[in-house]
């Protein structure tokens, strides 16, 4: 899978040369004052209407790429781990009952999560056990947002950049798990199997991801979350799409979000398999049954999917023919597959979901 970050990160720097954050709030006072003067505060950093005044308690440090030759940040510009954890919790809470543009809100939260990871990196904490609860909660939001916005145009949601951030967060989190096990005599964090399973589902079909999960300690590898993720992975590799979608449909909300980016490819491969297996002059396959098998929203959505792939729909059935399947589908047919993800979350707030799943 492209973008799978397998690089290691060294934390062996001289402790005397590392910055230790002392910023007590989500945004350093100097940055808040500067952005306030520049009128660059986001609407989510303003107080309630009608006044909408700048509110230092709502401001969150924005991401700023480190530049060559730029002096290192001062301690008061870096947030220590407890403040970073509170920051991520605040960002998660913005999704609950929020009104307005969801893509805009996602862009704001994603930018601020990049700044959180940068603060960890500048303090050489990214691979430390103290980063685990921070990175886990960041991934909850990133997976949720990616599923919600995947069908948005590139001008509103940069899927490539989002995927890079997810992969970087997974890589840092998995390094932190290894550091924690080294310090705790091989005892894994209680939440580790759950997030290792999310990592495998997000990287469905990746030999590198599969190899890494198979090399996990037995206690993690045999957990129910990873056993199910492995079963889904093998079903996909074996092109057993009936089993793949049956297992995938039973996933809870967050694992469904992690798997969602692969559904378009899985459905196309399933149609290609069926085009060979059910290709006959008078053979018709019921659209309602196909919709259930591919976790679609009903027979009409199945018909649209088949037509988009060049297959012939006759009444309430599809006629599979070898060679009739299109090699690609136009971008305007993303097939968001609401039944696969939507409804699984229920009424649970995103912050509550994160607190239930994370360390």
Evaluate if residue 1 carries a pLDDT over 70: no
Flag whether 358 is in a domain. no
160 lies in the same domain as 88: yes
Evaluate if residue 10 carries a pLDDT over 50: no
Average confidence (pLDDT) over 6-33? 74
178 lies in the same domain as 197: no
Flag whether 104 is in a domain. yes
Token pair for 180: 């924690």
Predicted confidence band of residue 87 (pLDDT cuts 50, 70, 90): very high
219 lies in the same domain as 326: no
Distance CA 139, CA 284 (A): 43
Q: What is the pLDDT of residues 280-323, one digit of tens each?
A: 878 899 999 999 999 998 999 999 999 999 999 999 999 998 88
Evaluate if residue 12 carries a pLDDT over 50: no
Flag whether 256 is in a domain. no
**Phi (first) and psi of residue 325, to 5 degrees:** -75, 130
Distance CA 229, CA 210 (A): 10
Flag whether 42 is in a domain. yes
Predicted confidence band of residue 149 (pLDDT cuts 50, 70, 90): very high
The model's pTM: 0.92
Token pair for 334: 């993303």
Predicted confidence band of residue 13 (pLDDT cuts 50, 70, 90): very low
Average confidence (pLDDT) over 103-108? 95
Q: Position of tokens 């998995």?
A: 174
Distance CA 104, CA 132 (A): 27
130 lies in the same domain as 37: yes
Evaluate if residue 232 carries a pLDDT over 90: yes
Flag whether 305 is in a domain. yes
102 lies in the same domain as 210: no
According to the model, what pLDDT value does residue 14 have? Answer: 47
**At CA 113, angle to CA 180 and CA 124, rounded to 5?**
40
Predicted confidence band of residue 150 (pLDDT cuts 50, 70, 90): confident
Do 168 and 117 meet the contact criterion of CB atoms below 8 Å apart? yes
Which range marks the domain in which residue 224 is found?
A: 190-238
Strands, E, within the chain: which ranges? 285-286, 312-314, 317-319
The residues pairing with 37 across neighbouring beta strands, listed in sequence order, are none
**Phi (first) and psi of residue 152, to 5 degrees:** -70, 150
31 lies in the same domain as 175: yes
Flag whether 354 is in a domain. no
Flag whether 243 is in a domain. no
Consecutive H or E run containing 145 = helix 132-149
Average confidence (pLDDT) over 252-277? 94
| DSSP one-letter code for 46 | B
Evaluate if residue 264 carries a pLDDT over 70: yes
109 lies in the same domain as 41: yes
Average confidence (pLDDT) over 148-156? 90
104 lies in the same domain as 208: no
Evaluate if residue 97 carries a pLDDT over 70: no
303 lies in the same domain as 266: yes
Looking at beta carbons, which pairs linking 35-44 to residues 24 or more positions away fall under 8 Å?
35/59, 35/62, 42/108, 43/100, 44/94, 44/105, 44/108
According to the model, what pLDDT value does residue 71 have? Answer: 87
Flag whether 244 is in a domain. no
């Amino acid at each position: 899978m492209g973008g799978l970050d397998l690089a290691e990160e060294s934390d062996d720097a001289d402790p005397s040369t590392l910055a230790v954050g002392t910023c007590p709030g989500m945004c350093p006072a100097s940055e808040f004052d500067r952005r306030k003067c520049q009128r660059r505060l986001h609407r989510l950093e303003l107080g309630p209407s009608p006044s909408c005044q700048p509110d230092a308690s709502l401001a969150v440090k924005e991401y700023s790429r480190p530049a060559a030759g730029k002096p290192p940040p001062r301690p008061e510009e870096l947030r220590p781990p407890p403040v970073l954890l509170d920051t991520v919790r605040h960002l998660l809470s913005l999704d609950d009952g929020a009104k307005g543009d969801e893509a805009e809100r996602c862009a704001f939260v994603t930018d601020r999560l990049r700044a959180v990871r940068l603060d960890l990196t500048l303090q050489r904490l990214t691979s430390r056990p103290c980063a685990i609860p921070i990175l886990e909660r960041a991934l909850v939001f990133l997976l949720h947002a990616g599923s919600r916005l995947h069908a948005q145009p590139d001008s509103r949601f940069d899927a490539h950049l989002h995927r890079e951030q997810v992969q970087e967060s997974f890589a840092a989190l998995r390094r932190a798990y290894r550091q924690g096990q080294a310090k705790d005599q091989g005892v894994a964090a209680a939440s580790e199997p759950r997030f290792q399973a999310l990592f495998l589902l997000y990287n469905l079909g990746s030999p590198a991801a599969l190899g890494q999960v198979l090399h996990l300690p037995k206690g993690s590898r045999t957990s129910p979350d990873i056993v199910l993720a492995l079963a889904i992975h093998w079903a996909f590799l074996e092109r057993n799409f009936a089993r793949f979608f049956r297992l995938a449909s039973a996933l809870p909300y967050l694992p469904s979000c992690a798997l969602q980016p692969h559904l378009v490819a899985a459905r196309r491969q399933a149609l290609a398999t069926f085009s060979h297996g059910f290709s006959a002059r008078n053979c018709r396959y019921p659209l309602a049954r196909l919709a259930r098998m591919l976790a679609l929203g009903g027979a009409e959505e199945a018909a649209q999917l088949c037509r988009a792939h060049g297959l012939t729909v006759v009444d309430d059935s599809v006629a599979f023919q070898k060679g009739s399947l299109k090699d690609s589908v136009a971008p305007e047919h993303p097939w968001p597959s609401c039944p696969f993800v939507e409804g699984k979350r229920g009424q649970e707030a995103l912050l509550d979901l994160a607190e239930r799943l994370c360390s």
